[in-house]
Amino acid sequence: MPDTRLKALSNRVLKLNVDWVLPIAAVMLGVLLFLLNPTILQVLRNTVFDEYQRWSPRPYQDAPVRIIDVDDESLTRLGQWPWPRTRLADLVEHLRSAGAAAVVFDMMFAEPDRTSPEALLKIWKPSASLRSELSSLPVHDTVFADSIAKGGVVLGHAPTRTGTLPNHFVKPYSIVQIGPSPMSFLSQFNGTVACLAPLQDATAGNGAISFIPDNDGVIRRVPLMLRLGDQVVPSLVAEALRVAQGERNYFIKTAEEEDAGLESIRIGPLTIPTTAEGEIWVRYTKPVATRYIPAWKIFSGQVPQDLIQNHILLVGSSAQGLMDLRFSPLGGTMPGVEAHAQALEQIIVGDNLQRPGWAPALEVLGIISGGLLVGFIGMFAGSLLSAGAVVITLILTVWGGWYAYSNYGLLLDPVTPGLTLLMIFIFTSLIHHAATERRQRWVRQAFARYLSPNLVNYLVNNPGQLELGGSRRECSFIFTDLASFTNLMEKLDPAVAVTLLNEYLDNMIRIAFKHDGTLDRIVGDAVAIMFSAPLEQSDHRQRALRCALEMHRFASDYAADANQRGIPFGSTRIGIHTGEVTVGNFGGSTIFDYRALGDPVNTAARLETVNKQLGTWVCVSEATLSGCPEIMARPVGRLVLKGKTQPLLVYEPAFVGDTELAKPDLDYAEAYKLMAQDDPTALNVFKRLAEERPDDPLVKFHLQRLLSGQTGEVIVFTQK
C-alpha cells in the first residue's frame, strides 16, 4: 500500500513539473529565436516597419534642405554627364553667392576631369600653336578646387569592404569620444575611394557616401559614423550638418553598459540619437516636388534666393541614365541623394525615428511575460479561453508597436514577440490537446469500466435516444449504503480509506454488471442500481434480488477480512423495491442524465435506511419478492415509512451461513403470525426465540416492540 501511494504521488509530482516546465521551455525557445534573429524574422520585422511608414509617413515640413537635381532636363539643356568641373565650379559660385549654408556633392570626383584642356592634349594631336593656346587655359580641376576652397563645400568618398586607405585622405574634422570606444559597433570598411587630392585639400568636409541597405535592398537607415580601417569617419549627412553649422568637432557618446554601443552624436547644438551602430532610422515623407531644384534653373537664375539662402544644398541626380536609384520603405525607388536629404530634414526638424537600445530588452520581456501567460493558459485552460488570450495578447502587441511609432516615433518589433507568442500558443495547445485526448481516453476507459455496459451498448446502438424525455416502465431498484464509513474515514489515513472504498465499490459494481444491472449513481459509499432499463428485462425482480444477495455476501466477506486486518470496516445495508417509474434522459440543454424518477426509487432508498432501525442488513419489498418464488424470506412487517401513509409489506431474505437459499424459518413464521393477529401469546413466543437466537436482530426488534406495548404487524417509522 505505501508503495502504491508513493508511486501515485510521484506521478502527480512528475505531471505537475511537466505542466510547469513545458510553457517555460516554450518561452525559452521563443527568446532563443529572438536572439538568433534569423533572416526571415528580419525581413518580417522590416516589412512591418515599412507598413508603419506607409500608413503614417513623416509629414513634410519645410526644412532648410534642398536637392540640386541634375535631372534629365538639366542634361538636355546643359549637355550630357559628366559636366566639365568648371561648370560645377560655376554651380558652387551661384549657390554660395545666394547664401547657401553648405553645398554637398553626392557624387565622386576620384579621377581628373576628362574635358579639361590637359586631358584633351593627350587625346588630340594639335598643332604647336593650338597646343600652346590650350596649355594656357586653366585646369578644370584647379578651377573647381579654387571654388571649393572658398568654403562651405562637402565632398564625398566611397568606402569599400576590401582594399586599403588611400595615401591621401584628409579629415577636416575632429572626433571626441565620450564613454567606451565605439569602434566595435560601427559598420566596418577597410578601404575607400577618395576624391582627387587637390579637391580634398580644398574641401570643408569629407563624408562617406555610403548606404547599408537591408537584405531586400531597402534604405531604412543612414549611418552618421563609420569605421574606416582603425579610425572613425563621418558620413556625408554628418559632414553636411557640421559644415552648415561651421563646427569642427563631433561628440560621440557611447553607453556605459557593456556591449550597448552608441547612444547619440552631437554636432553643434544638435544631439542626434542613434542606433548602437551609429545609424539613424529615416522616417520618410511622401515625394515632395519642392524638395528638388533642377540644376538648369540655378544657371538660368530662376530660383528664388530664399530657397537657397542658409540651406544645405545636396547636389545629386534623379536622371534615369545615371542609375543612382534606391529602394524606399514607402515602395518604389528614389534617387540616392533623397535618402540623405530626408535624413537631414528629420534631424533638423527633430522628427526622429528611433529604435532605442532598450527596445530588444523590452521585446524579450514581452516574450517572457506574454509567453508565460499564453503558455500557462494554453496548458491549463479550454480552447476558447486560450484562443481568446492569445488573440488579445497579439492585438495588444501589434497595437503597442503601432502606438509607439505613431505617437513617439519609436520602432518596437511586434513581429518576433507576436510570432513567438503564436508559436508558444500552438506548442502548448498541442500539448494540452494531447493531454486532453489522453484524459478523454482515460475517461472513456473509466466509463467503459464503471458505467453500465448495457447502457453504453444501448446508447451506442441507439444514438437517437440521447435526447431529453422518458417513458413509464416497471423497474426494480437496489440501494446500498456502508455503515459507519464516515467514522472510518476519520480514523484511517485518507489514502488507505480511499483504496478500501475503491476496491469495495469496484466489486459491488462488478456484481451489478454481472446481473446486467444499470448503475444509476454512486454517492460516496452508496450505490444505486436499477434493472429493466434501458433495456426491458422480464425477470428484473429476480435479477435485482439475486444481485442484492450476492452483494450482501461479498460485503460481509470484505468487511470480515478488513476487520481481521485491524480495519473496522462496517457492514452494508441493502434495500430492494419494484415499481412503475419514468425512465429516460433528464436535465437540460447543458447536461442530462439517464435515470429513473418516481416513488419506487425513494422507497428502495428508504428500505435501505430502515435496516438501521430494524437491525437487519437486507430488506426487500413484497413487490420484488413476488417475482422470486424460489428465494426464501421471512416477513419483517407492514412498514409505514417516513413520509408515507400506506404500509408496505417488507421481507428479510432467509440466511444460513453464506447462502440465502435456506429452509423456511417456521418458528419465526409462527411467532410473526401470532403478533400479526394481536395474540397475547406472541410476547412469550418471541421471548423464547430471543433466548434461542440471541444474535437474531429481527427477533430482538419485535420483542422490544411487544415489551413496549406495541402489537400487530404494522410498524410506523418517524425517522428515515
pLDDT digit string, tens, across residues 210-249:
888 888 889 999 999 999 999 999 999 999 999 999 999 9
Q: Which three cell numbers stand for residue 701?
A: 426488534
Q: How far apart are CA 646 and CA 124, in angstroms?
A: 140
Q: How far apart are CA 619 and CA 636, in angstroms?
A: 8
Q: How far apart are CA 145 and CA 431, in angstroms?
A: 73
- Please, what is the average pLDDT of the chain? 86
Residue 201: Cβ within 10 Å count: 14
pLDDT of residue 127 exceeding 90 = no
Q: How far apart are CA 176 and CA 159, in angstroms?
A: 22
Residue from 480, 500, 456 nearest 612 by CA: 480
Q: What digits encode the pLDDT tens for the residues 346-361?
A: 999 998 888 887 888 8
Q: How far apart are CA 239 and CA 225, in angstroms?
A: 10
78 in Cβ contact with 299 (< 8 Å): yes
CB within 8 Å of 698: residues ≥ 6 apart = 614, 615, 616, 634, 636, 652, 668
Q: Which three cell numbers stand for residue 176?
A: 571626441
pLDDT of residue 627 exceeding 90 = yes
| Amino acid 357: pLDDT | 78
Residue from 564, 534, 530, 532 nearest 548 by CA: 530
Average pLDDT over residues 593-606: 88
pLDDT of residue 1 exceeding 60 = no
- For helices 2-36 and 359-380, give the axis angle rounded to 10 degrees: 150
**Percent of the chain scoring above 90 in pLDDT:** 55
Q: What digits encode the pLDDT tens for the residues 105-120?
A: 999 999 998 887 776 6
Question: Strands 225-228, 292-294: parallel, antiparallel or unpaired by DSSP?
Answer: unpaired
Q: What digits encode the pLDDT tens for the residues 30-54?
A: 888 888 888 888 888 889 999 999 9
| Amino acid 4: pLDDT | 47
SS3 158: strand
Q: How far apart are CA 135 and CA 133, in angstroms?
A: 5
Q: How far apart are CA 484 and CA 559, in angstroms?
A: 12
Q: How far apart are CA 36 and CA 512, in angstroms?
A: 63
Question: How much is the CA Rg of the chain, to the nearest whole Å?
Answer: 50
DSSP result, 54-91: HHSPPPP---SEEEEE--HHHHHHH-SSSPPHHHHHHH
DSSP result, 360-412: HHHHHHHHHHHHHHHHHHHHHS-HHHHHHHHHHHHHHHHHHHHHHHHHH-B--
φ, ψ for residue 263, nearest 5 deg: -110, -45
| Amino acid 572: pLDDT | 94
| Amino acid 440: pLDDT | 60
Q: Which three cell numbers stand for residue 596?
A: 429513473
CB within 8 Å of 342: residues ≥ 6 apart = 58, 282, 283, 284, 285
Confidence tier at 454 by pLDDT (50, 70, 90): low
| H/E element, 558 | helix 540-564
Q: What digits encode the pLDDT tens for the residues 550-581?
A: 999 999 999 999 999 888 888 999 999 999 99
575 in Cβ contact with 604 (< 8 Å): yes
Residue 513: Cβ within 10 Å count: 18
CB within 8 Å of 460: residues ≥ 6 apart = none
| Amino acid 373: pLDDT | 81
Q: What digits encode the pLDDT tens for the residues 278-290?
A: 999 999 999 999 9
Residue whose cell numbers read 450505490: 527
The neighbouring-strand residues paired with 132 are none
Q: How far apart are CA 452 and CA 156, in angstroms?
A: 90
| Amino acid 130: pLDDT | 61
Candidate from 22-36, 85-99, 197-211 with smallest mean pLDDT = 22-36
Q: How far apart are CA 240 and CA 268, in angstroms?
A: 12
φ, ψ for residue 57, nearest 5 deg: -70, 165
| Amino acid 465: pLDDT | 47
Average pLDDT over residues 532-539: 87
**Percent of the chain scoring above 70 in pLDDT:** 88
φ, ψ for residue 528, nearest 5 deg: -120, 125
Q: How far apart are CA 99 and CA 375, in angstroms?
A: 64
377 in Cβ contact with 389 (< 8 Å): yes
Q: How far apart are CA 483 and CA 563, in angstroms?
A: 14
Average pLDDT over residues 642-664: 75
| Amino acid 128: pLDDT | 66
| Amino acid 273: pLDDT | 93
| Amino acid 590: pLDDT | 59
Confidence tier at 441 by pLDDT (50, 70, 90): low
Confidence tier at 625 by pLDDT (50, 70, 90): very high
| Amino acid 449: pLDDT | 53
DSSP result, 455-486: HHHHHHH-GGG-SSEEEEEEEEEEEEEETTHH
The neighbouring-strand residues paired with 249 are 174
Confidence tier at 466 by pLDDT (50, 70, 90): very low
Q: What digits encode the pLDDT tens for the residues 136-187?
A: 678 899 999 999 999 999 999 999 998 888 889 999 999 999 999 999 999 9
Q: How far apart are CA 446 and CA 455, in angstroms?
A: 14
Confidence tier at 691 by pLDDT (50, 70, 90): very high
Q: For residue 693, with 0-12 CB atoms within 10 Å meaning exposed, 13-18 middle and 19 or more buried, which class applies?
A: middle
pTM to 2 decimal places: 0.62
Q: How far apart are CA 522 and CA 525, in angstroms?
A: 7
